[in-house]
Amino acid sequence: MNENTEHLAPSPSPSPSAAAVDPRLDLAAAIALAGRTLAAVRPDQYDAPTPCEEFDVRRLSSHLVAVARRIAVIGRGEDPFSVPSFADELPDGAWAAAWEPAAAEALAVWADPEVLGRELRVPAGVMPGAAAALVYAHEFTVHTWDLARATGQRPEWDQALAERALTVLQRVLPAGIRDGRVPFGEVVAVEADAPAIDRLVAWAGRRP
């Protein structure tokens, strides 16, 4: 099922464990890994399905570029809906090239430490910048997993980042509300000692 955390209810302030690391570092790491994964997609894979049932590789690649553009707008305190959810103007294969300036702009905007304490508008409402950074670090991490799974890639996951992203997702999306009101599948059961990336995507309704 299509998963998009930015449309969930605004998250409460980050927990102490999640806030122990500057959330901008997690966001930057998630952006970097998404970019490397996107750049490795081959043309023969564009029509391949992804774990997001509504997205093939082409559509997910377009969405990733759009989200990178959107978080720059959000960090500046502007309207997130001024940026479409998909970069539909890009032809096949242009996503990696478009990603570079979008990611650079996002990182430049979020380099300002004051952004963490500002109230920012996201698609679901208003939340502190620190919480928004965590939400988007999660969004990029899970969608990068989707893209990697669809294209046979095996990125080197930052398990500590995945653990923090899981903490955020569990607070924003408890297991008990998977009843059609939100675009997430049921939590998939995994071993308690499974790698953090597996537990993260399982909570988002994917089967690792």
Say how many CA atoms lie within 13 Å of 18 toward its Cβ. 26
Flag whether pLDDT at 16 surpasses 60: no
- CB-based burial label for 103 (10 Å; 0-12, 13-18, 19+): buried
What pLDDT, on the 0 to 100 scale, is given for residue 7? Answer: 54
The pair of structure tokens assigned to 74 is: 């959000």
pLDDT band at 13 (very low <50, low <70, confident <90, very high): low
What pLDDT, on the 0 to 100 scale, is given for residue 2? Answer: 45
Flag whether pLDDT at 12 surpasses 50: no
Q: How far, in whole angstroms, is CA 186 from its chain's centroid?
A: 19
Flag whether pLDDT at 140 surpasses 50: yes
What is the length of the chain?
Answer: 208
Q: What is the pTM of this model?
A: 0.90
Average pLDDT score, the chain: 89
What pLDDT, on the 0 to 100 scale, is given for residue 180? Answer: 57
What pLDDT, on the 0 to 100 scale, is given for residue 207? Answer: 92
90-132: pLDDT as tens digits: 999 999 999 999 999 999 999 999 999 999 999 989 999 999 9
